[in-house]
Amino acid sequence: MSTPTTEQIGTMRGTLGVIMGDGKGRRKFCFYLREQERSMENLEFVMWFEDHYHRSSHILPHEASSSLRKYFARKSAHELNLDANVKVNVVDTAHMLIKQHLPTPLCIFQPAYLTCCSLLEYSSIPAYKAHKKTHKKNQGCSRHLIRSIREVFSKKK
């Protein structure tokens, strides 16, 4: 799976698109990200970007400012784990436009979007699949163990 291209911006592709297109799969993946990886911010940012991308090519200064505080500010609970250059370029460009009270083009956030998509596709999703596989295996073992314990206790009566 390759990194999304400019033509693919705004539409989740690959495995991420498949997972997010399935209601049950989406809930399980979100639960995994929140409870196991403790890292929902990449998916939240991708969803934020795509939602805004489908509505307009620009966001208002107050929306840009809010997004910078949520996803790019140090010590924010939703801070994205981005390369420093990507973060600085996004923040500096957005701040320049915000100060001038100009609408902020979403393309400013595109490098962060592409990075988050890649992190999800190449890190979070493979880890999720491995977790799912291990969890299924362990669930089968647990069921067998519980059945064996029940049999032992029922024989004692």
What does the pLDDT look like over 16-51, one tens digit per residue?
888 888 888 889 999 999 999 888 999 999 999 999
- 23 burial via Cβ count (<10 Å: 0-12, 13-18, 19+): exposed
Higher pLDDT, residue 139 or 36: 36
* Torsion sign, CA atoms 49, 50, 53, 59: negative
Q: Are 83 and 119 in contact (CB under 8 A)?
A: no
For the stretch 79-133, pLDDT in tens is 998 999 999 999 999 999 999 999 999 999 999 999 999 999 999 999 998 988 8
Q: Which tops the pLDDT comparison, 137 or 96?
A: 96
Torsion sign (Cα): 77, 108, 121, 20: positive
Give alpha helix (H) positions in the chain.
14-21, 23-32, 41-55, 61-71, 84-99, 110-119, 125-156
Six token digits for residue 132: 């799912």
Query: How much is the pLDDT for 113?
Result: 94
Which among 65, 62, 85 is positioned nearest to 76, based on CA atoms? 65
- Tell me the DSSP string of 34-76: IIII---HHHHHHHHHHHHHHH-SEE-HHHHHHHHHHHTSTT-
